[in-house]
Amino acid sequence: MATTSSELLHLAHGPHALILAPGLGGSIVRYFSQRDDRRFEWLRPASQAALAQGNPLGMASFPLLPFCNRIREGRAPARDRTIQMRANMPDSPHTLHGVGWRLPWQVAAQTSNSATLTLEHPRDDWPFDFYATQYFELDDALHITMTLENRDSVAMPAGLGHHPYFLRDAHTWLRSDVNGMWQSDAELMPTQLTQPPLLDALRKGCLIDDLVLDNNFTGWQRQSEVRWPQYGAALTMTAEAPFDFFVLYVPPGLDHFCMEPVSNCTDWLNLDPGQPEIAGGHWLEPGEVLQARFTLAPRFTGPQS
């Protein structure tokens, strides 16, 4: 799945710019702002190598659908049938991030500061037909609206999310209000819902370098904030229902981290489908549509904010 610069979409609004790669999983390539003679990257920019290799994991962000994160060994109950998907990562038996990030999207509409991408998916490993859209609108913030429509003849389990990567250094600070955290096993699959002291630290705000995480959180209040005080920059992520869950991925020793708005926890179909408040997820009847929207609102704050 390779792409070239000629296949990229460039959107702009004042000092803000957004670059999309429709053919590469409907991904975001860059989101940045120009301030005086300085360019600030609000998301980790895709490298030329990632673009040349067609690697969505090297993008600034990519869509998660029709489910978010992992399904254990690609297998889950779906009412009167069992879903069985192939693994899609060489180092894991668990199917990861749905299918939308692995497929080319089409450009349905574009203006100078907006674009609509679409994806038609016939049955395959994911045994349901669906239609998805991403609408990007750039003003003083970046607004992303996602839809997922069940075009099959039976009810379909459904989830939406996005996977933004943010740059980090020793000064990067994060605040996020959540009320529960799924503990995970060695394969990063959720095992137990807990309320560790870490939740208080996240609510108050803490340095990214104080964390090492790859966990799902419940009861997200649909707002998180990142600050880069040494650059006088900050960004607030806000969301609307059904983005009631939140994934925080902070790998040790790397220059990035991820905070993901999602509508379902990892492996939600196998966790406890009868308790949506702890696992999330939706069921769409034929013709029904799931919609979710989130915003990345950047600002320059001054050198010590």
Tokens encoding 51: 């673009």
Does residue 305 sit within a domain? no
The H helix count followed by the E strand count for the chain is 4, 27
The pLDDT of residue 36 is 82
Q: Is residue 117 part of a domain?
A: yes
Structure tokens at 133: 């859209």
List of the chain residues with pLDDT < 50: 5, 304-305
Q: What residue type is 287 in one-letter code?
A: G
Residue 21: CATH number of its domain = 2.70.98.10
The pLDDT value given to residue 109: 98
Q: Could you tell me if residue 154 is inside a domain?
A: yes
What pLDDT score was predicted for residue 304?
45
Given a contact cutoff of 8 angstroms between Cβ atoms, the answer to whether 146 and 139 are in contact is no
Domain enclosing residue 126, as ranges: 5-300
Residue 305: predicted pLDDT:
41
Report yes or no: 68 and 247 within 8 Å, Cβ to Cβ. yes
What's the pTM value of the predicted model, to 2 decimals?
0.95
Q: Are 21 and 4 in contact (CB under 8 A)?
A: no
How many other C-beta atoms can be found within 10 angstroms of the C-beta atom of residue 76?
Answer: 21
Burial level of 169, CB count in 10 A (0-12/13-18/19+)?
A: exposed
Contact 199, 147 (CB under 8 A): no
What are the distances in angstroms from CA 119 to CA 2, 20, 285? 17, 15, 19
Query: Residue 34: inside a domain, yes or no?
Result: yes
Please give the tally of structural domains in the chain. Answer: 1
Alpha helices for 92-222 (secondary structure H)? 198-204
Is the residue at 57 inside a domain?
yes
Beta strand spans in 95-195 (E): 95-96, 106-110, 114-121, 130-138, 142-150, 156-158, 161-162, 165-167, 173-176, 180-184, 190-194
36 falls within a domain = yes
